[in-house]
A and B are shown apart, each in its own frame.
Chain A
């Protein structure tokens, strides 16, 4: 039996998505072509766009399809900053963002921008007050993630959006890659200007994502060319990928609230079962996504635990899947920002659930984790 609990890294392609993908594979036209083949492709694209807007719960605004979440984040940040650079020289983000946000800001910093990095509380969540008190009339962009990919911490993005209303020149971007299709956000009534999405966290293939851009907001593109996607993302559109993305998004949106409650129950089950072992430390942010559980076994190496579990068919991850840097496994910047001890960081395991995760899988995983943890503490842990 294989139990895949690494859905925050990526997900398998859903059967319905596979079917949808196969259906449109032969719609080969270029959506920009004038003839019938182009029109067919164009229709697929527009269908997908309205599906994505619907899932976001908005009636206005644009969805710009991109080659994934990282590109959506880059487009939001560089696009907004270069378009509105005359408004000031100050930017705000948090120190626990995904590298696709953090590294974009570091690049801007090297180009002379002042960036404030808001540190999280010890539980990994960021306080709205901390973000808002850093805002000045010079602040061009604030970027805060919806759900942290390592800890599952849900950031108070609606509260931040509301607080930013008194700074009408400050734009607000939310990296929604771990939240989209899983936890609700009200973009319309809270002034969230941009929201990044990714398909492969929801059962679509890798390589497709999108950026929601609020009605009336003007940003610059990052990629220049034929002017596709409102001129914000040139390049012939990935029609089948986008259709698959929209299908996965529709499926997620249909039952988001019920599934969110159900998965929340699974997370609690998982957490309570694991913490029966006193060696297990839970990282429990005050507001947390039902889909991510971060725990630590001080004294063990997360990496070794991952391999021990994989041998038994359970797939999980250490802090974050993309943590290998310059030939060394870098300690998680998120955990460091939370000021966790080194042994706790090293022993961290991330379990991430999906809409299709079952209670049976969770219970089986708990059993296997317990066995492997016992074995490792016995032979490989600290003496």
Chain B
């Protein structure tokens, strides 16, 4: 049986009331983009879901692409039959058998939607008829209309019927571009790309902000960050990277601030600069890869002291994650191998021998008295360079539902 259609479900966004149309349009565009190299695939919206007509494209490949588009919850390959009950029964049996992998379905139900009102049986009649004949042929099954192991959907259309069941889970979330634009503080490490990915998953557009301190960090470290921005762009469609040339700020901190508060002051400066970029670029929030207690600058006291320099909301999608889980996610989304390349980033260089782990805001302010904060921030923002990354590769990784 040749599969020629795929049903794409997007659950969550149908809850979104009046914005629904915009969400669907975004998702439609994002789905289109994910198969832009396969012009034969056609998409249409129909009753709270999409149906893709493959036009000869490989079904597995198309489903892998769609499964990685944020906003897609699940998909099903569709069998198309003639308007014949016999054919529908055979297709329903194949759908049930498909699902009888390791955990054989014991109960099922048939759900019918009859768009073609000229079809001689109505929905209930057709469901009863197909269900009864499936039961005859597969005696180990029973019908359960409330909690079936398998549901077979039959959709009676003008000239054909769609029969489908198997729900293949997809990445979920909300379509990128529906939740506003945020600034992602992107280092070369493992965490921040994952934080960026998770925010993409909730529908935001991201602009990455990276702090580069040549010669304390190398050209290779910057190349690595650009590679990470590219990977995120492959997911997002487009990511703009702001590279803040940060060397002068760091050397001024070394000169004027006590060593033990160096990291705190450095991160406060980063946040001040990011806040300024957020203002200019109209970014609604900043996203960081912080995880509570992971390193000295990520204690609650430290987060509070650093956070106190800005009014822009800071989102920390990884705040409660364990490192092992972050690493697992980084592997899944394809950033891990790049993140572990051994080039220094600003966070790992200049680490003082005994950093304060619980700095108070007043202490940080006292440490900054000799720092010309406004000048440094203004100059750093002026020196910032931009580069835009657009999706280059189609994401075909296995499904990422966690």
B369 at the interface (CB under 8 A from A): no
- What residues on A are CB-neighbors of B216 within 8 Å? 304, 307, 380
A112 contacts the other chain (CB 8 A): no
- Residues 320-341 of chain B, each 1 if its beta carbon lies under 8 Å from chain A, else 0: 0000000000000000000011
Question: Which of B219, B251, B259, B341 is the one whose CB lies under 8 Å from A327?
Answer: B341
Cβ of A110 < 8 Å from any Cβ of B? no
Residue in chain A with minimal CB distance to B215: A307
Pair A307/B342 contact, Cβ less than 8 Å: no
User: How big is chain A's contact interface, by range?
Assistant: 10 to 19
Across chains A and B, the number of contacting residue pairs, with CB separation under 8 Å, is: 35
Interface size range on B against A: 10 to 19
Q: Could you say which residues of chain B place their CB within 8 Å of the CB of A383?
A: 254, 259
Q: Which residues of B contact A308 (CB under 8 A)?
A: 215
- B254 close to A380 (CB less than 8 A): yes
Given A327-B341, A380-B350, are A304 and B215 neighbors across the interface (CB < 8 Å)? yes
| Residue among A310, A328, A383 with the highest chain B CB neighbour number at 10 A | A383
Q: Are B218 and A303 in contact (CB under 8 A)?
A: yes
Q: Which of B214, B218, B254, B344 lies in contact with A379, CB distance below 8 A?
A: B254
Inter-chain contacts of B341 with A (CB < 8 A): 327
Q: How far is the CA of A304 from the CA of B214 in the complex (A)?
A: 8
Cross-chain contact A380 with B214 (CB below 8 angstroms) = no
| B21 interface residue (CB < 8 Å to A) | no
CA distance A329 to B349 in the complex (A): 13
Closest beta carbon of chain A to B328's beta carbon, Å: 17
Within 211-256 of B, Cβ neighbours of A (below 8 Å) are at 214-219, 250-251, 254-255
B218 touching A307 by the CB < 8 A rule?
yes
Q: Give B258's nearest chain A residue, CB to CB.
A: A383
A371 at the interface (CB under 8 A from B): no
Q: Which residue of A lies closest to B340 (CB)?
A: A327
Give the chain A neighbours of B349 by CB distance below 8 A: 301, 304
| 8 Å CB contact of A328 from B214, B259, B342 | B342
Contact for A329 among B219, B342, B350, CB less than 8 A = B342
Give the distance in Å from the alpha carbon of A327 to the alpha carbon of B215 in the complex: 20
30 contacts between A and B (CB under 8 A): A301-B349, A303-B218, A303-B344, A304-B215, A304-B216, A304-B349, A305-B215, A306-B215, A307-B214, A307-B215, A307-B216, A307-B217, A307-B218, A308-B215, A311-B215, A324-B342, A327-B342, A328-B342, A329-B342, A378-B255, A379-B250, A379-B251, A379-B254, A379-B255, A380-B216, A380-B251, A380-B254, A380-B350, A383-B254, A383-B259
Closest 7 CB pairs of A and B: A307-B215, A379-B251, A308-B215, A379-B254, A327-B340, A327-B342, A307-B218
